[in-house]
Amino acid sequence: MVTSPDSPRSPRVRPAIGLAGLAALLLAACAADTVPVGPGTTVAPPTTTTATTVPAAPLSGLEATVVADDLVEPVAVIAAPDGERLWVVERPGRIVAVDPADPEGAAELVLDIRDEVSAVGPEQGLLSVALHPDYPERGGAFVYLVTAGDDDTELREYGPSDDDPGVLDPSRFEVVLAVDQPHEWHNGGGVVFGPDGYLYLGLGDGGGIADRYENGQDPDTVLGGIVRIDVDAADPYAIPPDNPFVDGGGAPELWSFGLRNPWRFALDAATDTMVIADVGQDQWEDINIVPLTTGGGTNFGWPIIAGPECFQSRADREEGLPAPVCDPDEFHTPALSLDRSDGCAVIGGPVYRGAAIPELTGHYIYSDYCRGSLRSFPLHAVVAGAEADQIEHLTGLGRITSVGTDHRGELYLTDQEGTLQRIDPIRSAPSG
């Protein structure tokens, strides 16, 4: 259930940065000349020029370039507010800044709350961060974590230090949303600001095998769903007027439900879509696509269905129990169901809108924790009705934990072993 903290909340986090911090922010903004496209990420706006451009050489493949290798269990990467560096979330409870142009440089501390984070279980810890679209003038950095002592989860808003908007003040935070967790597994973790300005948070079903706590099909809880809240209209948040349960029938914060563990999801303004990578159990991993503006109230079916069929646990199948009967047409159909014989946990990424690899423009990018792959499919084609035919670009990249972008929309991967990798194009020289 959604709860309030026992102690009174601190005043709304509205940063008061000093002159040095303000100057640094303005210089970075002028140098980057960027526009926001997602959870703390930005992409360079189109430019006009009369100069003749030389077409890029044909793309012959992709390669992963290590830009940092001394991180501690990194699980998320976003563009830093200075327009050049990256913020990397480390599961034990830190956020560090990495300069991808300086692979030999040391990571710089952004936030250290290890004493406040429970990271004992492999699905616990500091799980994600997203910057307010108007950071730091109107909002802070929104951090999702498992709390030490009770193993519940909190969404917190941290403000920057007085002198540097690139550093968060660990004492300047507000608990925006607190959720009771019945188990250490399936905490979800994605935090994204949508093109509508609302904050979206993905939550798992509360853990246990086969939705032990029966949250997946219960819209009265936010567990097993996507939360959608307005962090600007009230303190700590308001309910958007078009949320599906704003007038009753479910938790008012809930946008959609019936998910098992949506570790990462993407919002794409160009196609008006939400793409949710839902980590499955036993046999199937699902990638769901729904309209962003009309998808409220969508039921994705867990634990009644998984992948393209009625869900049956591996234990029940091995015991020879009859398959359950259900009607999959009652629920949203995944755009892509991935057989677990080819992986173990789908890692959702962004929709690519960068410039370095125009061949991937509009592709949804994703990976798998066990396979260590980089895959994609053209989202615009799927939205138009085509099948999601996946393309595998790379394998053997390690135990991938997240796929993110820098302020230009270029791709980066984090892996369990502590590396941050950039995805670069390989282009063949023109013949003749």
pLDDT in tens, 145-194: 999 999 999 999 999 999 999 999 999 999 999 999 999 999 999 999 99
Which pLDDT score is estimated for 316? 87
DSSP per-residue string spanning 116-150: GB---STT-SEEEEEE-TTTTTT--EEEEEEBTTT
Which pLDDT score is estimated for 45? 43
Q: Please state the rounded mean pLDDT for residues 319-326.
A: 89
Q: Please state the rounded mean pLDDT for residues 93-116.
A: 96
User: What is the phi/psi pair of residue 28, to 5°?
Assistant: -65, -40
Q: Please state the rounded mean pLDDT for residues 352-357.
A: 98
Per-residue pLDDT for 138 more than 50? yes
CA 106 to mean position of chain CA atoms: 25
Q: Please state the rounded mean pLDDT for residues 200-208.
A: 97
Distance (Å, rounded) from C-alpha 84 to C-alpha 98?
A: 9
Q: Please state the rounded mean pLDDT for residues 211-225.
A: 97
- Residues in the chain, how many? 432
Q: Which residues have C-beta within 8 Å of that of residue 253, sequence separation ≥ 6?
A: 2, 177, 222, 227, 228, 229, 239, 243
Which pLDDT score is estimated for 56? 78
Per-residue pLDDT for 51 more than 60? no
Per-residue pLDDT for 15 more than 80? no
Contact 395, 371 (CB under 8 A): yes
Q: Where are the beta strands (DSSP E) in 187-282?
A: 191-193, 199-202, 225-229, 254-257, 264-268, 273-278
Higher pLDDT: 199 or 26? It is 199
Query: With the CA atoms of 345, 351, 355 and 359 taken in that order, what torsion angle do they form, in degrees rounded to the nearest 10?
Result: 80
Contact 44, 34 (CB under 8 A): yes
Per-residue burial over 219-236, b = 16 or more CB atoms within 10 Å of its CB, e = otherwise = bebbbbbbbbbbbbeeeb
Least confident of 21-30, 62-71, 104-113: 21-30
pLDDT in tens, 86-98: 999 999 999 999 9
Q: Please state the rounded mean pLDDT for residues 117-123.
A: 96
Q: Please state the rounded mean pLDDT for residues 39-68.
A: 68
Q: Which residues have C-beta within 8 Å of that of residue 373, sequence separation ≥ 6?
A: 343, 367, 392, 393, 394, 395, 397, 400
User: What is the phi/psi pair of residue 197, to 5°?
Assistant: 85, -5
Which pLDDT score is estimated for 368? 97
Q: Domain 70-342, CATH 3.50.50.60 — does that match?
A: no
Which pLDDT score is estimated for 342? 85
Q: Please state the rounded mean pLDDT for residues 67-73.
A: 97
E strand or H helix that includes residue 23? helix 19-32
Higher pLDDT: 376 or 428? It is 376
Per-residue pLDDT for 241 more than 70? yes
Q: Please state the rounded mean pLDDT for residues 341-351.
A: 95
Which pLDDT score is estimated for 52? 54
Q: Count other C-beta atoms under 10 Å from residue 324's C-beta.
A: 14
Which pLDDT score is estimated for 23? 39
- 34 SS3 class: coil
Which pLDDT score is estimated for 320? 87
Per-residue pLDDT for 72 more than 80? yes
Per-residue pLDDT for 364 more than 60? yes
Least confident of 44-53, 181-190, 222-231, 276-285: 44-53
Distance (Å, rounded) from C-alpha 282 to C-alpha 408?
A: 37
- 383 SS3 class: helix
Distance (Å, rounded) from C-alpha 428 to C-alpha 163?
A: 47
Structural domain boundaries of the chain? 70-342
Cis-peptide into 303, omega within 30 deg: yes
CA 172 to mean position of chain CA atoms: 24
Per-residue pLDDT for 38 more than 50? no
Q: Please state the rounded mean pLDDT for residues 132-156.
A: 97
How does the average pLDDT of the chain come out, rounded? 89
133: pLDDT confidence band, cut at 50, 70 and 90? very high
Contact 268, 335 (CB under 8 A): no
% of the chain with per-residue pLDDT over 90: 81
Contact 269, 291 (CB under 8 A): no
Which pLDDT score is estimated for 54? 62
